Chain A
């Protein structure tokens, strides 16, 4: 039981409480020391360490250290340290509490030996990460954070339902590889939702760019990668994940090409890169497991670096949209350099971290005779370099104005000087990316299985150099097709951001006064109208006042039908309001959600 004090979560949670109560200056120390202590705890854990404790009727394994949890524990503690350093100048008490709890909960997921502990940390992680988004304290971040929370609460409930079904079927709570079945399917959906797999991915690109500059660095590291860990633990070799992972990689990279907001562009690349890892989980061979782990490790480092680089631009200029940036290269040389290290790492340029991790996955697909997977993943790598290595830096630092003037005197944009802490964090991360690329054995020594892959050979390097060179030439050829213009791309978050509003407008527009001339034939006609409201969303909404002049008598005649009553209820639920919905509506919606949860719970217990 004393070993519980060595749990890497403990220093993070103590730090999280401390930063909330101590003065800012002391908090600066705590936020650095807490991840350091967690890193020390991770390093001191020996393989096979296991701490169990009784809870109700079950024996829970709250700490399980083995070869798979170690690389994730190391990188989670490491990136928490780096991102906390990056945020030294910008983060305040409440935000620091949120990020430390978030990072700690992600480590709790990694070291959870049973499904109940996993679920508890999973939910803490979801809630803490919501607070990381809310810490931006703008209305936009508030709304994005709430949408994020709803999606993740739904995912968490699927996980809980899956765990309960699993418990009732097997009588065991151990977190091991799952047998196919209802429980495994529910848990798998919860995991892939958290990994950001289309069509359950929109929360990621919706919420991550709305956090603070340092908050986004934290967000990019933990949620998706702890989902990758959970998939590696529970579903290695699930064939469906190969197809889903490849689709994910393609989806992310294509939407990234269209994106204008540079932090959102990088969020799409998280989806794409996690697609590589999910594909590797699906392949499931020893080499693929190593590849997924190594790529998760390297991905956290270079994606953190990329987001720190564009975060530095946002911090210095207040701008994150490509169409209002450009002409900064001469005045933000350091940020540009560090960003480019991240960009060539994610593009798997030889001597940088992506080359020694991503190529393991491609090679594992090749060894498993999945030729089409190899080709698709290589094309996705092309797209990664195209948008993170060419388009984004071109638009952000150069643009039509070129590298810009050497001093801010008379320049269109006035970048503020960056704090030293940001430069230090970026420099350290850039150094780590280079180090892992030059000495891959450092990375391979951490992997769960012995790595037999040899990244550097003349053929591999030559092929990669050719791919990247011709990506650059292709970009040069078609650069006119890639202008930075202000726009948004529709994605599936439209379903919960715009669709309810459209329905509300339609219902409000027709309101209680529709079908005035034919009350007798009202029922079938109204049923048809209802179906139309639900499906036909392209019709331009008319103002709610358009129909209100129709005689009130018709309304009274109609009010006797059940459909009219339900229509009034709908009108009230979807009524356009200033601020939150009224109290009865909130209660009604809450009751529906609670009822649905109860049905889910009861049905899962009966299984």
Chain B
């Protein structure tokens, strides 16, 4: 939790309640602020603390269908030798759409998938 943000969030919540007072507010003043703040916390806690431990798996859980970091078949980039020096991860051959793999089975990016 971001401790630096906590006093600001609490302060903003008080302001939110006060702003609502003179207007036609639903249920209670600060209703919108409460839904926003507690809704966010609730969703993040449910997703990250309750659900995530159950469903979180390593990226290659479906080994054949692992999405690679770089998907050259939809990448409209010509990588030059100069670029390659900057980042070895980008060291792929120049790849235009015209170079698309001709069949489903010889995609250069997943060449090891079936072998």
Chain A residues packing against B (C-beta within 8 Å): 89-90, 136-140, 142-144, 209, 212-213, 253-255, 257-258, 261, 314-321, 324, 375, 378-379, 382-383, 386, 410-412, 414-416, 419, 458-459, 462-471, 473-482, 486-491, 497-498, 578-579
Q: How far is the CB of A223 from chain B (nearest CB, A)?
A: 21
On whether the beta carbons of A314 and B74 are closer than 8 Å, the reply is yes
On whether the beta carbons of B57 and A488 are closer than 8 Å, the reply is yes
On whether the beta carbons of B73 and A136 are closer than 8 Å, the reply is yes
Which single member of B39, B70, B100, B101 contacts A318 (CB below 8 Å)?
Answer: B70
Q: Which residues of A contact B12 (CB under 8 A)?
A: 469-470, 473
**CB-CB nearest in chain A for B80:** A414
Given A318-B77, A470-B16, A138 and B52 touching (CB < 8 A)?
no
Q: Which residues of B contact A255 (CB under 8 A)?
A: 47, 51
| Number of A-B residue pairs having CB atoms within 8 Å of each other in the complex | 226
On whether the beta carbons of B35 and A379 are closer than 8 Å, the reply is yes
On whether the beta carbons of B72 and A318 are closer than 8 Å, the reply is yes
Given A458-B24, A463-B26, A487-B58, A469 and B36 touching (CB < 8 A)?
yes
Q: How far is the CB of B33 from chain A (nearest CB, A)?
A: 5
Q: Which residues of B contact A143 (CB under 8 A)?
A: 64-65
**Known contacts A478-B2, A490-B61, A491-B55; can you find 16 more A-B pairs with CB under 8 A?**
A136-B74, A138-B107, A254-B43, A318-B70, A321-B69, A378-B39, A379-B35, A383-B40, A383-B43, A414-B79, A416-B77, A459-B25, A462-B23, A481-B48, A482-B48, A490-B55
Residue from the set B6, B64, B69, B72 with the largest chain A CB neighbour count within 10 Å: B69
On whether the beta carbons of A467 and B23 are closer than 8 Å, the reply is no
Chain B residues packing against A (C-beta within 8 Å): 1-2, 5-6, 8-9, 12-13, 16, 19-20, 23-26, 30-37, 39-44, 46-48, 51-52, 54-59, 61-62, 64-65, 67, 69-79, 83, 86-87, 90, 97, 100-101, 103-105, 107, 109-110, 113-115
Given A315-B74, A320-B71, A258 and B35 touching (CB < 8 A)?
no
Interface of B is mostly: helix
Which single member of B23, B73, B77, B109 contacts A316 (CB below 8 Å)?
Answer: B77
On whether the beta carbons of B59 and A486 are closer than 8 Å, the reply is yes
On whether the beta carbons of B65 and A258 are closer than 8 Å, the reply is no
Which single member of B31, B51, B97, B109 contacts A138 (CB below 8 Å)?
Answer: B109
**CB-CB nearest in chain A for B40:** A474
Q: Which residues of A contact B42 (CB under 8 A)?
A: 379
Task: Determine the distance from Cα of A63 to Cα of B93 in the docked complex, in whole angstroms.
Answer: 52
Given A459-B26, A469-B16, A257 and B43 touching (CB < 8 A)?
yes
Q: Which residues of A contact B31 (CB under 8 A)?
A: 463, 466
Given A324-B69, A379-B42, A383-B43, A139 and B61 touching (CB < 8 A)?
no
On whether the beta carbons of B114 and A470 are closer than 8 Å, the reply is no
On whether the beta carbons of B75 and A318 are closer than 8 Å, the reply is yes
Q: How far is the CB of A602 from chain B (nearest CB, A)?
A: 37
Task: Determine the distance from Cα of A476 to Cα of B13 in the docked complex, in whole angstroms.
Answer: 14
Which single member of A139, A473, A476, A498 contacts B107 (CB below 8 Å)?
Answer: A139
Task: Determine the distance from Cα of A322 to Cα of B54 in the docked complex, in whole angstroms.
Answer: 21
On whether the beta carbons of A137 and B48 are closer than 8 Å, the reply is no
On whether the beta carbons of A321 and B67 are closer than 8 Å, the reply is yes
Task: Determine the distance from Cα of A318 to Cα of B67 in the docked complex, in whole angstroms.
Answer: 11
Which single member of B40, B107, B113 contacts A382 (CB below 8 Å)?
Answer: B40
Q: What 3 A-B pairs are tightest by C-beta distance, nearest first? A: A318-B75, A474-B40, A470-B36
On whether the beta carbons of A473 and B43 are closer than 8 Å, the reply is no
Q: Which residues of B contact A324 (CB under 8 A)?
A: 69-70
Q: Which residues of A contact B16 (CB under 8 A)?
A: 466, 469-470
**CB-CB nearest in chain A for B47:** A257
A–B Cβ pairs within 8 angstroms, 11 of them: A136-B73, A254-B47, A258-B55, A314-B75, A318-B71, A383-B43, A414-B79, A414-B90, A466-B33, A489-B57, A497-B65
Q: Which residues of A contact B61 (CB under 8 A)?
A: 488, 490, 498
Q: How far is the CB of B79 from chain A (nearest CB, A)?
A: 7
On whether the beta carbons of A379 and B1 are closer than 8 Å, the reply is no
On whether the beta carbons of A416 and B76 are closer than 8 Å, the reply is yes
**CB-CB nearest in chain B for A473:** B9
Q: Which residues of A contact B69 (CB under 8 A)?
A: 319, 321, 324
